[in-house]
Amino acid sequence: MDVDALVAPRVREMQSYAPIVPFDVLSKRLDMAVDRIVKLDANENPYGSSPRALEAIAQSRLMHIYPDPDQTALREAIASEVGVAMEHILCGAGADEVIDTLARSFIEPGDAILDLPPTFGMYKWEADILGARHVVVPRRPDFSVDVDAVERAVRETAASGCTPKLLFVSNPNNPDGSVTPRADLLRLLDLPLVVVVDEAYIDFSTEESLATLVRERVNLVVLRTFSKLAGMAGLRVGYGLFPTGILGHLWKVKQPYTPNVAGTVAALAALTDRRWLADVVHRMVAERARLSAALRHFDWLTPLPSHANFVLCRVGGGRRARAVKEGLERQGVLVRYFDRDGLRDCIRISIGRPEQTDALLRALQHVATASS
């Protein structure tokens, strides 16, 4: 029996994701204890989780009970934090699940998802998995959004008989950390589709969030996560802010029991841990400045300005990003590298603790001398 022939054709044709090597596997391969590895490859919080969040998990005696499918307590807490009523809020197992629920609520095979690469990979993944047309409007070389080109692409897609439904804008953008001016976002909101502004990194920038605008704009969705600032990437809690007109449909599509109980109690506690959160932002913004300045001393690295908890660097001077990444990895320092359109020979370094920055700089120095 050819079971493979039964797999949905669009899934059979999908490329498998470049797997990220699990932390413990890498630790074995490098023969290095997990706590000696300097992990600056996934924009995680180098200070761990909010202490109150960890304490709340330890104290919870509700793990044998299914979570509240209405997420009442968490949505109330987020509502007062963000300043929009809980009727606008839906939480999920990470912002990733919210993206997935949104996409599954809107997309029929053949509809279009507009994407502004280089950017976060999940948006294209949704297009692939749902059989949507993936309409690409590349960012300019400085990573700014070409709003005129987006407007043109929406018109042309519609004229071709395909319905443009979702436009994803990561703001700040992953992987470069640039922000899109509010005036440009407002122009995009005038387009006849749903504009999803992904604010996973907004806490590390001084930009004003679009969150409260979901009360007035029927086609705006704003995404947030507890993964980055609150240090809860492993717990999987994120949320979206929606116009009420859209949200009713998402509740029908969403898996009923996410986020789980551990994630929910942790997120509730993290929201009360204001001093800790503010302190982390303060430290990481300072460290971002120190890291960027230090990277400029390597004449073969060009760090780009960032409003997020990472810095993208172009690698030049005859060196290849991949070789740099591998040279760092052999010394137990993990970064992301990219080598594709718009991201030729780039490495992305997440902001770590000061001693991790120091270890990275030593390892870079070693890479520099070893290969020159």
Ligand X SMILES: *Cc1c(COP(=O)(O)O)cnc(C)c1O
Q: Which residues in this chain contact ligand X in the complex, by CB under 6 A?
A: 94-96, 120, 170, 174, 198, 200, 225, 227, 233, 238
Nearer to ligand X, 103 or 367 (CB): 103
As measured in angstroms, the least distance from the Cβ of 233 to ligand X is 5
Task: Output the residue with the shortest Cβ distance to ligand X.
Answer: 94
Instruction: Order across the sheet with 220-225: list the strands.
Output: 89-92, 238-241, 220-225, 194-198, 164-170, 112-115, 133-136
Reading the block at residue 90, the tokens are 């839906």
DSSP 233-264: TTT--EEEE--HHHHHHHHHHS-TT-S-HHHH
Distance CA 272, CA 270 (A): 5
Nearer to ligand X, 219 or 350 (CB): 350
Reading the block at residue 341, the tokens are 């359109």
As measured in angstroms, the least distance from the Cβ of 271 to ligand X is 15
Nearer to ligand X, 18 or 65 (CB): 18
Burial class (CB in 10 A: 0-12, 13-18, 19+), 80: exposed
- Residue with token string 């999803």: 196
- CA distances, 45 to each of 40, 63, 82 (Å): 9, 25, 21
As measured in angstroms, the least distance from the Cβ of 199 to ligand X is 8
- CA distances, 352 to each of 50, 199, 356, 365 (Å): 16, 20, 6, 18
As measured in angstroms, the least distance from the Cβ of 281 to ligand X is 16
Amino acid at 317: G
3-state SS class at 336: strand
Nearer to ligand X, 95 or 145 (CB): 95
Nearer to ligand X, 200 or 321 (CB): 200
As measured in angstroms, the least distance from the Cβ of 355 to ligand X is 24
3-state SS class at 203: helix
Nearer to ligand X, 96 or 111 (CB): 96
As measured in angstroms, the least distance from the Cβ of 288 to ligand X is 16
As measured in angstroms, the least distance from the Cβ of 175 to ligand X is 8
Nearer to ligand X, 106 or 123 (CB): 123
